Amino acid sequence: MTAKIAYDDVEVGTELPAQTFPVTRATLVRYAGASGDFNPIHWNEKFAKEVGLPDVIAHGMFTMAEAVRVVTDWTGDPGAVVEYGVRFTKPVVVPNDDEGALIEVSGKVAAKLDDNSVRVDLTATSGGQKVLGMSRAVVRLA
Amino acid sequence: MALDQSFVGRTYPPTAPYEVGREKIREFAEAVGEANPVYTDPEAAKAFGHSDVIAPPTFVFSITFRAAGQVIEDPQLGLDYSRVVHGDQKFAYSRPVRAGDRLTVTSTIEAIKSLAGNDILDIRGEVHDEAGEHVVTAWTKLVARAAEEA
């Protein structure tokens, strides 16, 4: 048993359920601890501005981790992911308020490949701007 | 200053094994808001055919990026890390990372480019388990932004 989606039930163009992921300063502190990435641009506003950023920004790897959830929630088994890559095009700026930022992710089957796998192309935006480019996952279906 | 092209193809010694713990996976899954029990409940993971809880797909970056430190901090290479941003990231998995894995990473400099004064460094990290089997390859593109004119 692997994915809960069958290869035969999917066509090129099949859309995955879109999701919105909230991110606040607290999220970033927690992610810093869990990932070991303590770069101050992800938690220290003064430092972020000194190096020319508009404000604290989310870890690119945090955004990458959220985006693939659209794929793994769809397939059921995250172990079915064969490949996953992104380009970090724009930072997700996270203001110091109760709202934070939202990362909106949608995905669609772009190609059916051999070995029961499909390529899913993901779109991730925050504040109306695309934050990931070339965001693609290959996932093996049932 | 452009980085030395002669570093292209250089492979660094494998890292000491990193032991993947169930609680570290749980902590990471919670940090990214993942509720899938395959990350926290061994029985749920077994229902998907895994021998123990598995890690979210991007978890392994913590390990490969630490390994890439050998490259980033190589004084002979001379990268200005304060100006580095993460450009691209890609993973190719032979199998998911799971609790109990003891993983070593072998880092190789795949490419060095200079573009508009920026240094672009491609590092490949090959991750193997204790049995020597391939688990995942991570490609990391780092961009050291050109220093501003003083």
A72 touches chain B (CB under 8 A): yes
- What is the C-alpha separation between B112 and B107, in angstroms, rounded? 14
Q: 3-class SS at B22?
A: helix
Please tell me the distance in Å from A13's CA to the nearest CA on chain B: 23
Residues in chain A within 8 Å Cβ distance of B30: 30, 34
Answer whether residue A129 is part of any domain.
Answer: yes
List Cα–Cα distances, B119 to A68, B1, B34, B52, B90, in angstroms: 29, 8, 35, 41, 19
CB contact under 8 A, A83 and B54: no
The token duo for B150 is: 């003083």
Answer whether residue A114 is part of any domain.
Answer: yes
Query: Where do the domains of chain B lie?
Result: 5-21+56-145
pLDDT of residue B85: 87
Answer whether residue A74 is part of any domain.
Answer: yes
B25-58 burial, b at 16+ Cβ within 10 Å, e below that, comes to: bbebbebbbbebebbbebeebeebebeebbbbbb
Answer whether residue A40 is part of any domain.
Answer: no
Residue range of the domain that includes A15: 7-22+60-140
What CATH number did the domain enclosing A129 receive?
3.10.129.10
pLDDT of residue B78: 87
Please tell me the distance in Å from A105's CA to the nearest CA on chain B: 14
Q: 3-class SS at A125?
A: strand
- The pLDDT of B12-26, averaged and rounded, is 98
**pTM, full prediction:** 0.95
**CB neighbours of residue A26 within 10 Å:** 12
B38 touches chain A (CB under 8 A): yes
pLDDT confidence bin for B122, thresholds 50/70/90: very high
Q: Which amino acid is at B37?
A: P
CB contact under 8 A, A79 and B31: no
pLDDT of residue A135: 98
Task: Between B39 and A52, name the one with better pLDDT.
Answer: B39
Answer whether residue A53 is part of any domain.
Answer: no
ipTM of the complex: 0.95
Name the domain count of chain A.
1
| Overall CATH class of domain B5-21+56-145 | alpha beta
> Chain A neighbours among B 74-103 (CB < 8 Å)?
82, 85-93, 95-96
The secondary structure element, H or E, covering residue B58 is none
pLDDT of residue B1: 60
A120 touches chain B (CB under 8 A): no
* Model pLDDT for residues B68-121, shown as the tens digit of each residue: 999 999 999 988 887 888 999 999 999 999 999 999 999 999 999 998 889 999
Answer whether residue A51 is part of any domain.
Answer: no
